[in-house]
């Protein structure tokens, strides 16, 4: 096991913040090219319902990122008690607006609104989150290409490819099967010719499966669940988890940790993403990239 590595082995840190910054500057230059050549820029509508603190901070981060690369942001802030019909009307209005190339509805929605119904009303050409059932369906099929890939899974694969880690023929284990990360990232890895296993809450003996992986995508939402001893020496570890754990030494009273025990894993893995500063910044960068791609399909026609 880990004994095959020198005792002072340190995994190479995959710096998601730096990679995301590179991608954002690539996007900014493409946006300015569109603006100069066609007099048009990409537009992203970000819809938020209610006043959840975490949702508000994600949304303001997304709007700020738009401004930074020159994407026009259409802000739609609706009250908690808005009806499902009114929200759907708003979505239809954005579908019809030619200056809007991407529509994002911040999840979760209040209990009285059917999430599935709202998401399927977003025009597939503007579904920059990649959650429309038609986009997910195409992602699941061989030889079909979705118009958009979900942002976090797309960011995970981009981190691997920009770090020179190949997926072809590799054993990849995805921990977690959520609609937002686990499931689509497993489909993406399959498209990228990896041999994919999905580990979830009903899996027996998950560590023995994880220990075989060349690539681990941890997206279970369980703080520090994956220990160093579960990791094959030299494996690439992409940690999607963001869990708050109590830490009285911090001003906020907590700190963020991933689904992987970072200190232990760093002594065994070949590559690892930190939390924060790994997958998080990539999710926003991929949202901007999807918006740009959607805009180019319309503007460069």
DSSP 8-state assignment for residue 30? H
Q: Cα dihedral sign for 25, 29, 34, 36?
A: positive
In contact, 84 and 112? CB cutoff 8 Å: yes
DSSP 8-state assignment for residue 220? S
| Pick from 191, 166, 186, 163: nearest CA to 176 | 186
SS3 state of residue 32 = helix
Active site residues: 62, 106, 129
Length of the chain: 301
Which residues are registered as beta bridge partners of 20?
A: none
Backbone angles phi, psi at 157, to 5 degrees: -70, -35
Prior bond of 271 cis (ω within 30°) = no
Beta strands in 211-282 (DSSP E): 215-218, 236-239, 243-246, 254-257, 271-272
User: What are all long-range contacts of 138-142, with beta carbons under 8 Å and residues at least 24 apart?
Assistant: 139/184, 139/187, 139/188, 139/191, 140/187
In the chain, the N- to C-terminal Cα span, in Å, equals 55
Residue with the two structure tokens 């050409």? 125
Residue with the two structure tokens 């319902």? 49
| Pick from 285, 276, 191: nearest CA to 240 | 276
> CA–CA separation, 182 vs 175, rounded Å?
7
């Amino acid at each position: 096991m880990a004994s095959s590595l020198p005792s002072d082995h340190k995994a190479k840190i995959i710096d998601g913040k730096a990679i995301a910054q590179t991608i954002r500057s690539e996007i900014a230059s493409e946006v300015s090219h569109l603006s100069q050549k066609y007099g048009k820029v990409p537009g992203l509508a970000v819809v938020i319902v209610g006043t959840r603190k975490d949702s508000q901070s994600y949304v303001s981060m997304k709007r700020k990122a738009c401004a930074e690369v020159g994407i026009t942001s259409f802000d739609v802030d609706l009250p908690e008690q808005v009806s499902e019909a009114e929200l759907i009307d708003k979505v239809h209005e954005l579908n019809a607006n030619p200056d809007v190339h991407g529509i994002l509805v911040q999840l979760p929605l209040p209990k009285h609104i059917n999430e599935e119904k709202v998401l399927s009303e977003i025009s597939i050409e503007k579904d920059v989150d990649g959650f429309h059932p038609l986009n997910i369906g195409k992602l699941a099929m061989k030889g079909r290409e979705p118009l958009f890939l979900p942002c976090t899974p797309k960011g995970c694969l981009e981190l691997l490819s920009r770090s020179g880690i190949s997926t072809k023929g590799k054993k990849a284990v995805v921990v977690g099967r959520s609609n937002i990360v686990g499931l689509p990232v497993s489909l993406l890895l399959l498209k990228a010719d990896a041999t994919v296993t999905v580990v979830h809450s009903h899996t027996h003996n998950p560590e023995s499966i994880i220990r075989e992986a060349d690539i681990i995508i941890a997206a279970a939402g369980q703080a520090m669940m994956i220990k160093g001893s579960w990791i094959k020496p030299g494996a690439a570890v992409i940690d999607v988890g963001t869990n708050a754990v109590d830490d009285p030494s911090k001003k906020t009273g907590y700190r963020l940790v991933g689904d992987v025990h970072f200190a232990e894993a760093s002594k065994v893995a070949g590559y690892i993403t930190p939390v924060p500063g790994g997958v998080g910044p990539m999710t926003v960068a991929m949202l901007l990239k999807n918006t740009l791609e959607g805009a180019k399909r319309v503007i460069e026609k």
